[in-house]
Amino acid sequence: MERFVANAKLPRKLLLLLIPTLFCGMVGGAGNGGSTSAFDYRRWETSGGDKGVSHYSELDQINRTNVHQLQVAWIYNSSDVIHEAEPFWGGSTIQCNPIIVDGTMYTTTPTLRLVAVDATNGKEIWRFDPHKGAKGGGYNRGVAYWRDKEQRRLFFGVGPHLYAVDAITGKPVDTFGQNGRVLMGTGSTPEGETVSAPAAPVVYRDLVIVGEMSSTVPGNVTAYSARTGERRWVFHTIPHPGEAGYETYGDPNFYRTGAAANVWGGLSVDERLELVFFATGQPEHDFYRPFNEGAHLFANSVVAVNANTGKRVWHFQELHHELWDLDLPCPPMLVTLERNGQKVPGLVQLSKTGNTYVFNRLTGELFSQVEQRPAPPSKLFGEKAFLAQPYVISPEPFSKQFVVTEQDLTNISPEAHAQALERFKKADTGWYVPPSERGILYYGIHGGAEWAGGAFDPENGHLYINSNDIAWFVQMTSSEKVPEARHRGFIVYQNNRCVSCHGAKGEGIGGKAPLINLKEKYDRDRLLQVIRSGVGTMPGFSSLPGKDLQALADFLLDVESNAQTSERERASNFYVMTAFEKFLDREGYPATKPPWGTLNAINLKTGKVAWKIPLGEHDVLTKRGVPQTGTENFGGPIVTKGGLVFIAATQDEKFRAFDKDTGKLLWEAKLPFGGYTTPSTYEIKGKQYVVIPCGGGGKPSTKPGDAFVAFALSQ
């Protein structure tokens, strides 16, 4: 069995920093990415607040005693919301965490225009349009800011391109790449294939580093010159021959024929230690990779690389040969841990399985208590599921963990419980049971933790995490029994993550985003354009080969295709997915007991959950006498020295502030649209603001919007 924590040789100057530690008794301090200069918390210069993505601020003008006096200071509307909710998912949304530098807020809009806004009054200063007048689509989760003595630049990914924009003028930087943009993946992906980078890039010295994403090629991590756009290094998340981890795939050609292991959650940087950290998702295909034995590095892993060279320093794999769509969803958080008064450079990684992994970020030493326990084999022909998976003993889990039990079934009404019980008895359940023809029920696809991550408080050593506890049902069926599997476009649909938004056969998920009767709504040319470019929250699939695009369009338009699947495609699709759906009752509520969404505080001194509360409310259920259930939530928290945890995220479209020590609700405000990203806080001329993007739409499927709402204390 391979080593699950692996360390490369460390430089001598870093070895001098090593401190023996144990998990017990650690307390923490938020970091600013290891910068040697004093950190200015009046700014929010980096997505996540600092290069360590701690989501912490020392600002305390807004605090426990006066937070009830918060009022709207300004609202900025970008005026480019997309209301096209059908057939593509939820219209538009905003997932960008705004940055604030020198009094200006920089963010992306629902259609991924980049804007500069006066952070004192919400007035737009300039707008950059990467689409050159076209509608635009997809999503972006942050921009990066870089400066030297003379220049100020912003970097962000849209589609297959990384853009560089002058932060003062809003004009593309013509000395960067070709007219201000570079085609990502060039030189590291096969000709004709492209990648995207929805997560915020990170800046290290004169490098801008991006985590790439694709369903057709590996999602590598690449560093570009912040000045010229020239590629400086690439880390292969699916190892090449001669690289560490190559032997963990049964197929020696997987580095060429496989895909994903994407870094879609983001990255963090320690400038002093000269390290970049990131977390990855699983390889394609999510639920069935036959005749491919092994752990599959560096998928589902926390990885540390040398920021100057991209060479691996250490890694830890959370799940081996992952078959459940349980990506590590968010960037590693960099914090300072203490043992007997001595400081240790720490790293915290949150997971969809509700686990918290704590490391020495210099060496990769694991402080969490983890056991490798036996896991069941797959019942699907050819699938070689890994026969051990990690079980975290401490810290305590912050969400329900994988297994759905009969005791978990909903109690909001007798009818809902009876329906859930009937469905439950027909499914496979159990600890890391692989996908099956009977179908499996489990927690995790939409959390525990999600892409926004958590917030860490250096004062009390608490980690704050919003979490989802919603079960999913996944079923595989022999392709011989599925008529659609004869259509090559159906195989393309299954193999390119279309199922994650539109269901196993295009039926939609929870009644949302069905792809039914498209031929009544789109002609062939328009549909091909939507698939290539994206629309609303649906990203474009410009990397699909032409024959795959044509076959996919034929399938969606219910047209017979003459395209034939290859022998390899037939072998890798011996089974196809026939169910990929939330476990819901007839009213559309989760079929497990509430709370369905929670806000949690974990004490990293003890590894114990300090408090847990439902997050969000369904008004209809409240009026029926059902206690507060929490809602599915997307977007994360921030924590401040003023004793507050701020978070939106919920389907009831509210923005809330909680006492960080007790979880008591201190303030809430109704937003114009759902706030499905992380807020930012900053100070200008002695006045503290908290701003939350309100894009609605998205996975919670509320009305889409275009607002950025800033709050401050009343005069």
- Global confidence as pTM: 0.92
How much is the pLDDT for 549?
A: 84
Asked whether the predicted pLDDT for residue 474 surpasses 50, the reply is: yes
Asked whether the predicted pLDDT for residue 60 surpasses 70, the reply is: yes
Q: What is the mean pLDDT of residues 606-613?
A: 97
| pLDDT per residue as tens digits for the range 397-417 | 999 999 999 999 999 999 999
Convert 39-53 to b/e letters by CB count within 10 Å (16 or more is b): bebbbbbbbbbbbbb
How far is 467 from 612, CA to CA, in rounded Å?
A: 10
**What's the pLDDT band for 26 if we cut at 50, 70, 90?**
very low
Q: What values do phi and psi take at 699, rounded to 5? A: -65, -35
* Residues in CB range of 12: below 8 A, 6 or more apart: none
Asked whether the predicted pLDDT for residue 36 surpasses 50, the reply is: no
Q: What is the mean pLDDT of residues 480-509?
A: 79
| pLDDT per residue as tens digits for the range 5-21 | 455 444 444 444 443 33
How much is the pLDDT for 406?
A: 97
Handedness of CA 62, 64, 70, 74 (dihedral sign): positive
Distances (CA, A) of 613 to 126, 225, 366: 41, 45, 29
- Which residues face 77 on adjacent strands? 707
**What's the pLDDT band for 34 if we cut at 50, 70, 90?**
low
Length of the chain: 715
How far is 449 from 351, CA to CA, in rounded Å?
A: 6
Q: What is the mean pLDDT of residues 68-75?
A: 98
**What's the pLDDT band for 451 if we cut at 50, 70, 90?**
very high
Asked whether the predicted pLDDT for residue 39 surpasses 90, the reply is: no
How much is the pLDDT for 88?
A: 57
- Which residues face 674 on adjacent strands? none
Query: Quick one: how far is CA 330 from the chain centroid?
Result: 5
**Percent over 90 (pLDDT), the chain:** 72
**What's the pLDDT band for 554 if we cut at 50, 70, 90?**
confident
Q: What is the mean pLDDT of residues 351-361?
A: 97
Q: What is the mean pLDDT of residues 88-110?
A: 89
Given a contact cutoff of 8 angstroms between Cβ atoms, the answer to whether 571 and 498 are in contact is no
Q: Which residue did the predictor score with more confidence, 198 or 547?
A: 198
DSSP 658: E
Neighbours of 128 (CB within 10 A): 19
Task: Give, in degrees to the nearest 5, the angle at Cα 633 between 588 and 444.
Answer: 80
DSSP 406: G
All structural domains of the chain with their residue ranges: 5-475+586-713
How far is 704 from 86, CA to CA, in rounded Å?
A: 12
Of these ranges, 20-29, 128-137, 492-501, 645-654, the one predicted with the greatest mean pLDDT is 645-654
How much is the pLDDT for 19?
A: 35
**What's the pLDDT band for 27 if we cut at 50, 70, 90?**
very low
| pLDDT per residue as tens digits for the range 312-330 | 999 999 999 999 999 999 9
Asked whether the predicted pLDDT for residue 629 surpasses 90, the reply is: yes
How far is 258 from 575, CA to CA, in rounded Å?
A: 17
Of these ranges, 281-285, 335-339, 653-657, the one predicted with the greatest mean pLDDT is 653-657
Instruction: Share the mean pLDDT of the chain.
Output: 89
Of these ranges, 90-99, 333-342, 499-508, 542-551, the one predicted with the greatest mean pLDDT is 90-99
- Residue 57 buriedness (CB in 10 A; 0-12 / 13-18 / 19+): buried
**Could you confirm whether domain 5-475+586-713 is CATH 2.30.30.240?**
no
Q: Structure tokens of 558?
A: 């219910």
Q: Structure tokens of 206?
A: 């004169």
Q: What is the mean pLDDT of residues 32-42?
A: 66
C-alpha closest to that of 350 among 274, 209, 455? 455
Q: Structure tokens of 499?
A: 């199922």
Strands 687-694 and 707-713: antiparallel
Distances (CA, A) of 31 to 348, 363, 455, 547, 590: 12, 17, 12, 49, 38
**What's the pLDDT band for 38 if we cut at 50, 70, 90?**
low
**Percent over 70 (pLDDT), the chain:** 90
| pLDDT per residue as tens digits for the range 682-710 | 999 999 999 999 999 877 778 899 999 99
How much is the pLDDT for 556?
A: 86
How much is the pLDDT for 265?
A: 87
Beta strands in 398-522 (DSSP E): 440-443, 455-457, 462-468, 471-478
Given a contact cutoff of 8 angstroms between Cβ atoms, the answer to whether 614 and 594 are in contact is yes
Given a contact cutoff of 8 angstroms between Cβ atoms, the answer to whether 376 and 442 are in contact is no
Neighbours of 414 (CB within 10 A): 8
Q: What is the mean pLDDT of residues 38-59?
A: 93
Q: Which residue did the predictor score with more confidence, 232 or 538?
A: 232
Q: Which helix (H) or strand (E) holds 270?
A: strand 267-270
* Residues in CB range of 197: below 8 A, 6 or more apart: 157, 162, 184, 210, 211, 212, 213
Q: Structure tokens of 414?
A: 């007798």
How much is the pLDDT for 73?
A: 98
How far is 652 from 457, CA to CA, in rounded Å?
A: 27
* Residues in CB range of 631: below 8 A, 6 or more apart: 596, 597, 615, 616, 617, 618, 650, 651, 652, 700
**What's the pLDDT band for 70 if we cut at 50, 70, 90?**
very high
Convert 187-215 to b/e letters by CB count within 10 Å (16 or more is b): ebbeeebbbbbbbbbbbbeebbbbbbbbb
